[in-house]
Structure 1
Amino acid sequence: MSVLRDPRFSTQRASRWINSSISHTGNAGNDCDSDNRAGGTQAHRSEIAELKEFKRIFARSLMFLNGSHHARLRKVMNAGFKPVMLQSVKPRIQALVKKMAANLEPDHGSRVIDFMNEFARPLPALVIAGMLGVDAADEKNFLIWSDQIAAFIGTPTPSMEVALLAQEGIVALNNYFSELLPYRRAHPGQDLISQLIAAELAGGVITTKELLAQCCTLLFAGHETTRNLLGNGMLCLLTNTAQRTALQHTPSLLPSALKEILRYDSPVQFTGRLLTADVQMHGQLMKKGDLVIPFIGAANRDPAKFSHPDQLDFSRDEGNHLSFGYGAHVCIGATLSYMEGEIAFNAMLPMLSRMVLEDATPDWGCNPVYRGLHSLKIRLTATTS
């Protein structure tokens, strides 16, 4: 918690982070002659230039800004996540969940569903796409581009190949929104893009390039955490009989259950910071310019903060988790994620007694930052007439 609110641990790390992917592909440290070193330097500069567009867009994201720039953009974006705005999209989320839950049901007997691919993955993407006012028909492309960016963010020292794919994804998103802006300027609505355009037209609040970067961030970050909350939460319910039963008997426990699921199996396991000064912590000296990895998942199971931290307990009341961050950079969409989770699991509660895991071993994804399931196979039995 102290690291996440300490200004010496800066979020302004995009260029440094992207450059780290280049340093791991060069020949630095090799015992080679001066001609090879010169060639390596030229190649290194070429790789830096190759990722220029990635750094340009990424560095404007709210996720990687500090101080007045961060405060200015966050104020603009907060307008889209106020309670009145979220309540206005709640009926649409409820309708989406109802339809998707119905599509899981077998006509008779039973069927095996993949909860991740049939529910948890598409739902948040459709929600944030709707809030942005973009065509849900483009969902497949959004998910591909998002996965490319997530693979980069999920690697503390990404390879050049991973960085190039992430650049491909974020440039594609940027181009998509660039083509959408003229129409939205001419036909504004109640969506987030229209709100950002209004701030842009007001002058001095947000630039067009900043606007595009925030759209990219929202579409990517708007579903990545929530889909893993849904998947991890469902796995928790199906593997913890006592807690599942308690929730089924007392549905009013759901808000505290979601909070506990986020603590117990955090969708975001760590984040990154760039040191702006030397810092001494726990007997270790960290130097200015170092990239630092604060482990959120570990903090959420700190025995100094939580009693029996490795146990799932929906009645737990021991303060907040850090799964959505803390301080100035707390996740702007945290309330939306909670709302999606509550609506989704409210719909799932009557179905839980008819669900059993099809596979004993969960199929986890390989991204170390975003802890989530690649698939979750569940056998769902039809309701009896």
Structure 2
Amino acid sequence: MSARVNLLSPEFVADPYPILAGLRRDAPVCQVEPGGVWAVTRHADVMSVLKNPQLFSSEGLVRSMEPSWLGYNPLARSMLVMDPPRHGRSRALISRAFTSTTVARLEPFLRTTAERLVDALLERREVDFLQALALPLPAAAIGHLMGLDASLYSRFKHWSDHLAAISAISATDLEQQQQVQRTVQEMEGYLKEVLEHRRRHPGDDLVSGLLEARVEGEALSEAELVAFLFLLLAAGLETTVNLLGNAALILADRPELLERLRAEPRLLGSFIEEVLRYESPAQATFRLTTAETELGGVKLPQHSVLILLLGSACRDEQYVSDGERFVLGRKEPANLPFGHGIHFCLGAPLARLEARVALEALLPRIQGLSRRPEAPRWHPSIQIRGLVRLPVQVVPA
């Protein structure tokens, strides 16, 4: 491939996978646009980077989250962009409050909410699947987990969409830049108000738990608390909304899969894992080289910015056989969407639980899910893979 691939081109956004397959074959580590960052496309190379935070720093993410036009962004101060030893301290403190028990306690609330949303979806028959189920369920989950005002749930996605779009906004798009600047200011102001209220009125919620968390007598600072809540709102929504939206798109295009899942509900866990692999909601993450090094036969200078293309790694033929096909019941270990190593996503169990509960509420009550024949419209983001809208018609069982 002579010309650099542009990860924001309409062709790539619409269907990145044939282009990624070509890069894996011909140029597995190469410079791409925008910005001439180094794309890493093969599974083995991606894993090599993720396993070596000393040589490949997470500070590479800061540049994508905090461009010069934006300035201060609490998300760029979260544990997502920390290296050891700071990362270990922050993760230990947050883990004190964000436990498997915390997530498990959400299940009854999630089931009640999912059943109510499916009732409304079936009553209307023709809906935007994202607005009808994929968005309101995780928004309610995050809101319930954090003890937030339910009337603000619709604003959460508006905020998270803007944060997810940062790396795709050009230096000349002043309107979008101003929108993101306002979002960061609004989120920071709102979350600081939430923290202050919980200090005065602690409750049985994640925010109160974070305020109380201590490791060797040390608590999270105000800035660390705000940064984590930014991360939870953005990643907690985007991951599950796009996982559910991508799952619904696959079921609409592959009615035999829907029929099989209705007949064999035990395959639902396998289906969710294959969606995560095949149409990963998290497509990319960034790293920064701390010294000159070689990767995939290519010499990388110190301070090179790498974009690890997780969606490509998940389809790598050297890692998973027949990776370009969706295979229900696949036995191979398959997905990287929640990261690996020290940065494996704390919210992975919650995202999987939300997806399972939503589909368990929906699938027994429908015979079919169809959509219009036009091509899906995807968010123009480097880091996420998700639909802008998904109009569907539902056939009740």
Q: Tell me if structure 2 keeps the 8 A contact 1:276–1:289.
A: yes
| Gaps in structure 2 of 5+ consecutive residues | 1-46
Contact persistence 1:113–1:377 (CA under 8 A): yes
Question: Displacement of 1:364 after TM fit?
Answer: 2.3
Corresponding position of 2:243: 229
The residue aligned with 1:25 is: none
Aligned to 2:96: 79
Amino acid at match of 2:56: F
- Residues 160-239 of structure 1 correspond to what in structure 2 (within 5 A)? 161=174, 162-199=176-213, 204-239=218-253
Whichever residue aligns with residue 245 of structure 1, its letter is E
When residues 104 and 18 of structure 1 are mapped into structure 2, their CA distance, relative to the original with a 3 A threshold, is closer
Counting only pairs closer than 5 Å after superposition, residues 30-109 of structure 1 correspond to structure 2 as: 51-54=70-73, 57-106=74-123
Distance 1:164 1:14 in 2: 21
Q: Give the length in aligned residue pairs.
A: 349
In structure 2, distance between residues paired with 1:192 and 1:153: 29
Matched, 1:12 2:12: no
Letter in structure 2 aligned against 1:11: S
Secondary structure of 2:316 counterpart: coil
TM-score (norm 1): 0.85
Matched AA of 2:322: H
| 1:164 positional shift | 4.8
Question: 2:12 corresponds to which residue?
Answer: none
Mapped pair 1:253 → 2:272: no
Q: Within 1, Cα distance between the matches of 2:256 and 2:396?
A: 23
Evaluate the alpha carbon distance shift between residue 158 and residue 222 of structure 1 in structure 2; reply closer, same or farther with a 3 A threshold: farther
Instruction: Quote the Cα distance in structure 1 between the aligned partners of 2:65 and 2:275.
Output: 32
Q: Is the 8 A contact 2:261 2:267 kept in 1?
A: yes
Match of 1:30 in 2: none
**Counterpart contact for 1:131–1:191, Cα < 8 Å:** yes
Give SS of 2:360's match.
helix
Q: What residue in structure 2 maps to residue 273 of structure 1?
A: 287
| Contact kept in structure 2, 1:238 and 1:356, CA below 8 Å | yes
Q: Equivalent residue of 2:365, what SS?
A: helix
* 8 Å contact kept, 1:81–1:336: no
Counterpart amino acid of 2:148? V
Answer whether contact 1:149 1:167 (CA < 8 A) is retained: no
The alpha carbon displacement at 1:202 in A equals 8.4
Output one character per residue of 1:154-198: Cα deviation in whole Å (capped at 9) or x when no partner: 56x766745554333222111101112222112111211101111
Distance 2:71 2:379 in 1: 29
Report the more deviating stretch, 180-189 or 93-102.
180-189
SS of residue matched to 2:332: coil
Offset of 1:265 from its aligned partner?
0.6
User: C-alpha displacement at 1:15, in angstroms?
Assistant: 4.5
C-alpha distance in 2 between matches for 1:80 and 1:354: 40
Structure 1 residues 14 and 380: CA distance shift in structure 2, 3 A: closer
CA contact (8 A) 2:258 2:368 kept: no
Do 2:283 and 2:382's aligned partners in 1 also have CA atoms closer than 8 Å?
Answer: yes
1:10 maps to a residue whose letter is S
Q: 1:354 aligns with which of 361, 368, 374?
A: 368
Query: Which protein has the larger Cα radius of gyration, Structure 1 or Structure 2?
Result: 1
In structure 2, relative to structure 1, the CA distance for the partners of 1:202 and 1:194 (3 Å cut) is farther
* Deviation of the 1:96 alpha carbon: 0.9
Using the alignment, how far apart are the partners of 1:370 and 1:357 within structure 2? 22
Please say if residues 191 and 229 of structure 2, whose CA atoms lie closer than 8 Å, have aligned partners that are also in contact.
yes
- Following the alignment from structure 1 to structure 2, what is the Cα–Cα distance between the partners of residues 368 and 68? 28
Compute the TM-score of the two structures, normalised by the length of structure 2.
0.82
One-letter code of the match for 2:306? V
Deviation at 1:229, TM superposition (A): 0.3
Relative distance call for 1:218 and 1:371 in structure 2 (3 A) is same
Secondary structure of 2:327's match? Answer: coil
In the alignment, the residues of structure 2 paired with residue 359 and residue 114 of structure 1 have an alpha-carbon distance, to the nearest angstrom, of 15
Task: Decide whether the 8 Å contact of 1:14 with 1:58 is kept in 2.
Answer: no
SS in 2 for 1:314: coil
Partner of 2:4: none
Deviation at 1:321, TM superposition (A): 0.7
Kindly indicate which of the two structures has a greater share of residues assigned to helix: 1
Query: Corresponding residue for 2:381?
Result: 367
159 and 278 in structure 1: CA distance in 2 versus 1, 3 angstrom threshold = farther
Deviation digits for residues 196-233 of structure 1, max 9, x if unmatched? Answer: 11127985231111111111111111110110000001
Moved over 4 A (4+): 157-160, 200-203
More divergent stretch after superposition (185-194 vs 296-305): 185-194
Once the 2 structures are TM-superposed, how far is the Cα of residue 122 of structure 1 from its aligned partner? 2.2
Unaligned regions of 5+ residues in structure 1, if any? 23-46
Quote the Cα distance in structure 2 between the aligned partners of 1:227 and 1:285: 38
